[in-house]
Each structure stands twice: as C-alpha cells, then as structure tokens.
Structure 1
Amino acid sequence: MRFIERPFCEVSGAPFDHDLGVGMVSPEVIANPPPYEKARAAVFYDGAARKLAHGLKYSDRADLAAMMAGWMIRAGREVLDTSDVIVSVPLHRSRLFSRRYNQSAELARAIARLTGRPFEAGGLRRVRATRQQVGLGLRARQDNVRGAFAVPADRTPRIAGRRVLLVDDVLTTGSTVEAAARALLRAGAERVSVLTFARVASPGGETLYA
C-alpha cells in the first residue's frame, strides 16, 4: 500500500509532488474552497488498499474495518483530536438493504471504539436515493449528491455547535463528502473535518479533487 505522507495540501490533504512549505494549500482549494475545514486520508486507492476497500464494501468483510481504522487514526490524528463527534456518510435505505451494512459506518464505529470519541449513528441521513458515483464525471457527481443528505430533526441537538468528523471509505472527487459536510453545517455544526481510508489519484500522479 502507498501511505499518504506530507507534503500535502493543508486543507484537502491532496499530496504535492514537492514540498511547498508549511501550511500551503492547493490551487484547487484556493479557487473552490470546500465546506469542510480539513480532509485527510490514510492511503492511495490502488493495489492492496483498493482490494481492502472492495472487500469491506462489497464482500461482507466487516472484519477489515478495525485494521483500516487503525491506519485512518494514524493519518487523521490532527482532525480526530479537534473533533467532538464522529458521523459517517450514510447509505440510502434501499442500498443498505442490499449490502446489509454501511462500510463507512463500520469504519466510523471502529475509530470511535479505538479513540473513545463518540460515534453518532444516524447523525446524517441520505434522504434521496442517488446513482452510484462510479463512472460519473465531476459535474455529474456533484449533481448526483446535491441535496441528498440531511440531519434528522431529532439528531440536530447532537450536531449543532459541535466539531464533527465525517468518515467515509474512499474520497474520489470530494463531491460526496462536500454535500454531506454542507448538510451538517446547515444543521449547526461548528465545523466539519473529513477522514477517509483512501483517496483516488489520477494516472498522472496528481490527486483528483473537487
């Protein structure tokens, strides 16, 4: 596996090919600031990491979550230490029924267990069924998840005024976590940070970000 190490963009976590100095951010973030404060990922989404992510997501290998969460904690210590509550990116109930569990929730639950941070299961809901993001371009991905998430009214008091860590398995363009972060902020979250197991890199070596 290829673990993600500095240098990378201080906001998006997108790796740089050379060190630009402490606190530097990518041109993409300057042009289009994301709604979250920081995003971090443990590994690049290729090789063994891709197999692990697919095993967790599609092959009923929920037992992999604890190992993957350990790497995520190492990569995301700075965002973990400044978060009050952990929330996972949810599946729509129809997809949850077919998969039987939410891989992002399994990662979030494992991180909570290993760190002692509270996990707010059901803190975010996918209120609209969406197409799978695989194979969609950036604009289509953004349109697909726009307005797809909301914080249930009975969970709002547990989100409002709190620093939220949003957990997902893989960051591709960032469209999903951005839509989810906006929903958390609308519910009154003080701020949102993102932690994923892996992030996708383009064939040219530059990390995709949106």
Structure 2
Amino acid sequence: MTQALDLVLDFVFPPRCLACGAAVGKQGGLCGECWAGLAIPGEPCCAACQRPLTGPAEGGEALCAPCLAVPPRHAGIHAATLYTPVSRKLILAFKHGRRIALAPTLARLIAARLPAGLTGQVIVPVPLHRWRLWGRGYNQAALLAHELARMGHGTLAVDALVRVRRTPSLGGLGKKARRKALRGAIRVAQGRQSVVRGREVLLVDDVLTSGATTDACAAALRRAGARSVRIACFARVLEEAIPLTTNRTPGAAMAPGAG
C-alpha cells in the first residue's frame, strides 16, 4: 500500500531537489550537484566544539583557538553541515519560506552527526519570542527537535526554555552586541526546572552563527541544573572553514539566524 501511494505521489508531484528544484529519483532528496555543495564537518576537529581543524589532532584532544581563549559552556556542537550556498538555500526555505516539510530531511542530516548512544537526553529547542512565533507561525528549531525525538534521540521538552523578552535581529551585530542583546532574555520556563535538572540536554537550532543565542540557552539550562548541554544544528557558520562560491561571505549579516 505504501509503495502504491508513493507511486501515485511521484506521478502527481514528480520528485524535485529540495534545494534547486531539479528532477531527482526520490521525494525529499537532493540532486547530485546540490549534495556535492553541502560541506559535512569531519575529522580532525576540535575536541570541545567539533570545529574542523586544518592539522592532525593527536589523540583527539586538540582544541581550536576560540575554545582555548574562552572555554565553551557546552559539551559539544554537532552540525549537519557547514554554511554554504546550498545549506543557506535550504535554511531560508525552511525558516522564512514556510517549507516546514523540510524538517524531516534536515533532522535526518543532523541525526547522522550525533554521537551514538545518547538516547536518554532531553531535547530542547532554542525558543522564539511569542510575537515572533505568532508572526512566523512556527518555531523551526522546535520542528527539528520534534523530528529528532521521533527518531529516538531523546525526550522532547519543547517548552523548557522561554524567551521572556523580544530581542532585535542579531544579524550584522558583533559578538559583544549579541551577548548584550540576549542578556536576561532566555530562561528555563517556570515549573520546568525539574525537566532538565540533572539531565543531559540536546539544544537544537537550525543555524549556528556566533553562538551567542545557544550560549545564552546553555547558561540558562546549566543554572537550572542541567548536567551537560550539547548543541545540534543543521548549518554552522565558520568563516575560515570553506570559501563560498558566491560574492558574499558567511558572516552574521548573511546567515539567516541568530545563533
């Protein structure tokens, strides 16, 4: 029955690449060119934040310069891709183009980067302020978190964090300005401390830019007693990692997020 329905769906809606719209063999996939345009983080990488390193990491304990300068509050960053024109196109369609059907595909790519055996964790999405949520109609991070929970990567706590005041768009702001804008804006929701206390938390967002938003979320979760906080995202902006094939650089002004 499922195969028959798939054939009917393919006949009515021929499979198209999620990024560029070219014909593909299966629903929910990418064409060869767009798949090649994704940059999947790999080894060697920073032992603390999984930032790709250019040299060998002996014993798996090498740290990147940012982590040496400021030890992270999180227990690791697990990004499905680095921020490239293809991943940017997918993020824009998902976040601003209302293509929420992209959530399962993006979540599967995130899940492929998660460490094995972390099934008892609490999955918490980065929150939106209620006005932004009402305006957009959905929280893209919550959709990804829901899919990860559905795949068995932990227990969803969609309302564990709350953004108590509206913050300006962080695009184009420097790191200090971002931290200032987020100061006191994100908290663990009243009555939800017991959900994260003593637990390992997987914090989910769509795109990680400077890390200011996820740092604010991690700090709130740790204050509420979370044992550790890992970060999972679809795309991670790293200016030094790869050159973009467009005329724009992958800085904060280009990234469609505030992470």
The answer to whether the 8 Å contact 1:83/1:165 transfers is: no
**1:128 aligned residue:** 165
**1:111 aligned residue:** 148
- Note if 1:96 corresponds to 2:133: yes
Larger CA deviation: 91-100 vs 14-23: 14-23
**1:18 aligned residue:** 55
Larger CA deviation: 110-119 vs 196-205: 196-205
SS in 1 for 2:124: strand
**2:78 aligned residue:** 40
2-structure distance, mates of 1:52, 1:5 = 21
Deviations 1:137-164 (A, max 9, x none): 1111111112211111211111111111
SS in 1 for 2:134: helix
Larger CA deviation: 151-160 vs 195-204: 195-204
Equivalent residue pairs, number: 208
Provide structure 1 residue ranges, at least 5 long, that are not aligned to the other structure: none
Q: Give the Å deviation of 1:18.
A: 2.3
2-structure distance, mates of 1:77, 1:104 = 20
Structure 2 letter corresponding to 1:131: P
Deviations 1:15-49 (A, max 9, x none): 11222221211121122011111111110111211
- Note if 1:165 corresponds to 2:181: no
The answer to whether the 8 Å contact 2:119/2:153 transfers is: no
SS in 2 for 1:52: helix
- Note if 1:27 corresponds to 2:75: no
**1:200 aligned residue:** 237
User: Structure 1 length normalisation: TM-score?
Assistant: 0.93
- Greater percentage in helix: 1
SS in 2 for 1:115: coil
RMSD of the TM alignment (CA)?
Answer: 2.0
Task: Return the structure number with greater relative CO, CA threshold 8 A, min gap 6.
Answer: 1
The answer to whether the 8 Å contact 1:83/1:164 transfers is: no
- Note if 1:57 corresponds to 2:95: yes
User: Structure 2 length normalisation: TM-score?
Assistant: 0.76
Give the percent of matched residue pairs that are identical in Structure 1 and Structure 2. 38
Change (3 A) 1:30 1:116: closer
Deviations 1:58-89 (A, max 9, x none): 011111010011110111225x7165210000
SS in 2 for 1:161: coil
Structure 2 letter corresponding to 1:100: G
Change (3 A) 1:147 1:131: same
The answer to whether the 8 Å contact 2:141/2:204 transfers is: yes
SS in 2 for 1:153: coil
Provide structure 2 residue ranges, at least 5 long, that are not aligned to the other structure: 1-37, 244-249, 252-258
- Note if 1:5 corresponds to 2:42: yes
